[in-house]
Amino acid sequence: MATKYVTTSGTYYHMFSYDSGGFEKSSSANESFNYDSFDDFGYVKASDVKRVSMVKSQWTYKKAKPYYVANPYTRRIWSAPIYTKHYTYITKVFDRLTTTQLYATKELIKRNGAHYVFLETAHQKLGWVYKTPKVLIAGKYRDAGRALLKPKSHDTMTVKRQNKKSTTNRVGVNDSLSLPQRAYVVRNKDKHISKVLVIAMDNRPIKVNFRHGQATKLTCYAYQRTIWKTITKKKTLKSSYYLAHSDMDIAATDIKFYKKSSKKLLTVKTNGNDGVAKVLIYRNGRVTFNTRVYKNVATYPLTDFD
């Protein structure tokens, strides 16, 4: 980034490096925590440098394109694509947008070929995010319970949602700490629990089928709601299952099953880098939620990103 000066001895540029305020959302680079004097490269003759554009192309869609959130924590929403302006910062996070219909209204291609889209809701402009199916699913938002549980006409489905205050209302660098977790409980015509779907802190669906109070199948989904793993081994479904992958960008999840004599039915515990979240479902349909931020971890108030 450079500021142009025309003098009697020629044209000069005052050179600065590109800067990012990240989660700090400072109003300018000079106020950013990351800023230091080494970001100022001094003055150089115009003839000694070549100007390049960091934006290859940019256009506005004739019609807004609908999207909804897949992975909410690997990418955030920025004031501008990073390194396209002298100073950029995070304007929004996806923690409270996972059940919201989003719309892309503009697209930008950076000099390196990376694509970004400008997101809006029906009532608010949000900002720019890297365009990838890992983060955004193209299409109209569909409720996960209806889409994945497919309750029959004689089934009864109830939805429990975590109170927003209990999420800590903090924004983590590596997790979606303020994402309200959800649990869908389906009862059959005999009023027995037949299916459970949990949307945990990382927004990844986990479904469990039950028969006579015992788990019969565990289905673990990817962020795009495609089936990733299916577990039917009886021994596992009577104890616990650890869901993780060293080569995939997912949070590790502990899934615990209980004996039929226990009042508890299922626990889904998400182990993040900034905190841990838990969903506990009882056999009577009661659900409790908990989110806890680890000590000595940098987090930011959610109000900074509303």
Residue range 82-131, pLDDT digits in tens: 888 888 899 999 999 999 999 999 999 999 999 999 999 999 999 999 99
How much is the pLDDT for 34? 53
Longest pairwise C-alpha distance within the chain:
90
Do 28 and 83 sit in the same domain of this protein?
A: no
What is the mean predicted confidence (pLDDT) over 125-148?
96
**41 and 67 part of one domain:** no
- C-alpha 281/C-alpha 196 separation (Å) is 9
Q: Give the separation between CA 167 and CA 162, rounded to whole angstroms.
A: 7
Q: Which secondary-structure segment (H or E) carries 54?
A: none
Which residue, 177, 84, 181, is CA-closest to 130?
Answer: 84
Residue 20 tokens read as 């990012």
Q: Is the pLDDT of residue 37 over 90?
A: no
* Rg from Cα positions in the chain: 24
Query: 224 with 96, same domain?
Result: no
Same domain (yes/no): 123, 159: no
Distances (CA, A) of 87 to 18, 40, 80, 84, 214: 6, 13, 9, 8, 55
Query: How many domains are there within the chain?
Result: 3
**187 shares its domain with 300:** yes
pLDDT given for residue 28 in this prediction:
57
- Helix, coil or strand: residue 97: coil
Alpha-carbon dihedral sign for residues 109, 110, 112, 114: negative
d(CA 185, CA 149): 9
Same domain? For 134 and 150 the reply is no
113-117: Cβ within 8 A, 24+ apart: 113/56, 114/81, 116/81, 117/65, 117/67
Same domain as 175, residue 62? no
Q: Are residues 176 and 299 in the same domain?
A: yes
Whether the per-residue pLDDT at 201 is higher than 50: the answer is yes
- Phi, psi (rounded to 5 degrees) for 47: -70, -15
**185 pLDDT higher than 50:** yes
Residue 94 maps to which CATH number? Answer: 2.30.30.170
CB atoms within 10 A of CB 213: 14
The answer to whether residues 19 and 112 belong to one domain is no
* 50-90 tens-digit pLDDT: 878 889 999 999 999 999 999 999 999 999 998 888 888 99
Print the domain residue range for 24: 2-48
Whether residues 89 and 160 fall in one domain: no
Asked if residue 269 and residue 237 are part of one domain, the reply reads: yes
CA 253 to chain centre: 16
* Per-residue pLDDT tens over the stretch 225-259: 999 999 999 999 999 999 887 656 668 999 999 99
Helices and strands in the chain: count of H runs, count of E runs: 1, 24
Q: Are residues 125 and 191 in the same domain?
A: no
